[in-house]
Chain A
Amino acid sequence: MRLGLLVLLAAAFALSLALPWAALGELFAQDRSLGWAVLAELRLPRALLALSYGAMLGAAGAAIQALFANPLASPDLTGTTSGAALGAVVTAYLLGFTAPLALSIGSVLGALGALGLLLALAGPKAETATLLLSGLAISALAGALTTLALALAPSPFAFYDAYDWLMGSLVDRSLGQAGFAALPAALVILLLWRMRDALDSLTLGEEVAQSQGHDVARMRIRIVCLTALGVGACVAICGAIGFVGLVAPIFARRLTGGHPGRAILPAAAIGAILLLAADLVVRSAPLGRTLPIGVVTALLGAPFFLWLVAHMRWRLAR
């Protein structure tokens, strides 16, 4: 199973670099070094961002779902990505700190704020309904504030960036920017993976986990901080992309027999594949129009989410 995932991931990455082939093929025919330059400076950052951001969303989704013991929790439904976008926008557009590091820090702080607010509102042992409602409220608030901040920013062109921030974009990012997202994401995924046994023990409930020697309160703080860090770093570069963090862990848990902690790495792989695929869809949009990538993930993810809710309700009613 693992091998299959890795092969799929490698294939998706390669396709992301190669398609559309026509333009690239022409360049290579004209001038080989130019072809490589386009590949390295333009295609590679985009593929790398899709890989890292998708993997980060998958891993973060798996961790948050394990923490809240709820298959409906995810970075977007808990307001993490929206909070991160708000943090980045306020930092760069309103406060004027435009250095990449400043943007990332602002984004991480925004994500932390959103998650912290969620824990304060819904509590760590929240029921599904409370969790979702609080998360959606925080998401909506953050989204509205982001649009407001963009409307009031010094630059009158800022308002047109709302789509990029709220629905995500991987276009025209440099290799340096991709690194700013990929490195924190890789680090956070690794650290989350190390917590997989502790997360698995949470399936028995908080009390049993504590009796087994796991410090649940500290685990909670660590997961919140780590997901805020990883998701924040990615949102600072690409904006908020939704639904990947919801869908990927659910498929991953199918592969791990329901263990939520062990699903972190498979969820990362599946998340990366999903986002790479979504990016390919965006690139083959008709009429050469620009589709925000968040639209594609939402079109695929929202029906899945609806099915999930219906399925859960049906199962509980049985």
Chain B
Amino acid sequence: MTPLVTASGLSLAGRLRETSLTLEAGALTCLIGPNGSGKTSLLHAIAGIGRPAGNVRIDAVDPAGLAPAQLQRLLGFLPASRDVKWPLTAADLIALGGAGEPEIARILVDLDLAALAGRRIDLMSTGERSRVLIARALAARPKLLLLDEPVANLDPLWQLRLMDYLRGLARDQGCALLIAAHDLDLAGRYADRLIIMDEGRIAADGAPGALLASPHIKAIFGIERGEAGWRPA
């Protein structure tokens, strides 16, 4: 089966060395790696942020040069920063993702935001704001989702609920998801595929179980698994 997403020759000035990868529809892929390893840069490069080199095809379509209205059905990006400058309401902000009314209503229910729809985003807690921003990225059900640390700022319950929801999106809707994460256990539990980044390139790529038990972890992260969990190597 042809992959949903093919990216080749991607590079981003100084932060990402020439990289190629493919993503299958319906698969949830987690990107892990130490700080500065290039996770965010890889997401940026695929999303077309910061003038990356290389080319990308999503469902055989080149996203570069597409009008925003069409692009929103193809690609959804969530940045690591949860900063919003303007006092929009949650519903208005989600609408900026290009989704229609029914889709907005649906995502409000899915992420338990219905009660917050009319509340101003700058008056919400960080967790609530995070969920609203995630809702914006997901509302239009784009084919490829690029999420930079989506579970940051969320409480433990919502971390699990969100990952469940994202896995559901992959399985039921056939989206391809590429998620940058810091939590190795969470990644191991929900990912269909794991990519480890180190110093601007892909160091390892494969099944989560195998990769997490491999020597790559100790070599790249400097930690190893002990009885009580992870510990410095």
Contacts and interface: CB of A to CB of B under 8 A. Distances in A.
Nearest to A263: B86
Interface of B: 44, 47-50, 63, 66-68, 71-72, 75-79, 81, 83-89, 92-93, 96, 98, 120, 122, 133, 136, 146
A61 to B, nearest CB: 15
Given A211-B47, A258-B88, A205 B68 contact: no
Interface stretch (A49-57, A139-147, A195-203, A235-243): A195-203
A210 B63 contact: no
B85 A201 contact: no
Given A69-B86, A210-B47, A211-B146, 9 more contacts: A70-B85, A203-B84, A203-B86, A204-B84, A204-B136, A212-B68, A213-B71, A258-B87, A258-B88
Given A208-B77, A213-B66, A214-B68, A201 B96 contact: yes
Contact of A207 (B79, B88, B122): B79
Nearest to B71: A213
Contacts of B50: 210
A156 interface: no
A253 interface: yes
B49 A211 contact: yes
B96 A200 contact: yes
Contact of B86 (A207, A212, A259): A259
B67 A205 contact: no
B96 A204 contact: yes
Contacts of B72: 212
A315 B98 CA distance: 30
B68 A258 contact: no
Contacts of A203: 84-86, 88, 93, 96
A204 B92 CA distance: 12
A315 B47 CA distance: 34
B68 A197 contact: yes
Interface string A174-190: 00000000000000000
Interface of A: 69-70, 197-198, 200-201, 203-205, 207-208, 210-214, 253, 257-260, 315
B88 A257 contact: yes
Nearest to A197: B68
B49 A210 contact: yes
Contact of A205 (B79, B87, B98, B146): B79
A208 B84 CA distance: 11
B105 to A, nearest CB: 18
Nearest to B75: A211
Contact of A258 (B77, B79, B86): B86
Nearest to A204: B96
Nearest to B66: A213
15 contacts: A201-B68, A201-B96, A207-B79, A208-B77, A210-B49, A211-B47, A211-B49, A211-B76, A212-B68, A212-B71, A213-B66, A213-B67, A253-B86, A258-B86, A259-B88
Contacts of A201: 68, 96
B7 to A, nearest CB: 14
A213 to B, nearest CB: 4
A136 to B, nearest CB: 21
Contacts of B87: 258
A207 B89 CA distance: 21
B83 A211 contact: no
B219 to A, nearest CB: 31
B145 to A, nearest CB: 11
Nearest to B146: A211
Nearest to A206: B49
A253 B76 CA distance: 27
B85 A69 contact: yes
A212 B84 contact: no
A205 B81 contact: yes
A197 B95 CA distance: 12
Nearest to B79: A207
Nearest to B83: A205
A212 B69 CA distance: 8
A126 to B, nearest CB: 13
B41 to A, nearest CB: 12
Contacts of B86: 69, 203, 253, 258-260
A212 B136 CA distance: 12
A214 B89 CA distance: 23
Nearest to A260: B86
Contacts of A212: 68, 71-72, 77, 98
A258 B89 contact: yes
Nearest to A201: B96
A213 B79 contact: no
A207 B79 CA distance: 7
Nearest to A70: B85
Nearest to A212: B68
A308 to B, nearest CB: 14
Contacts of B63: 213
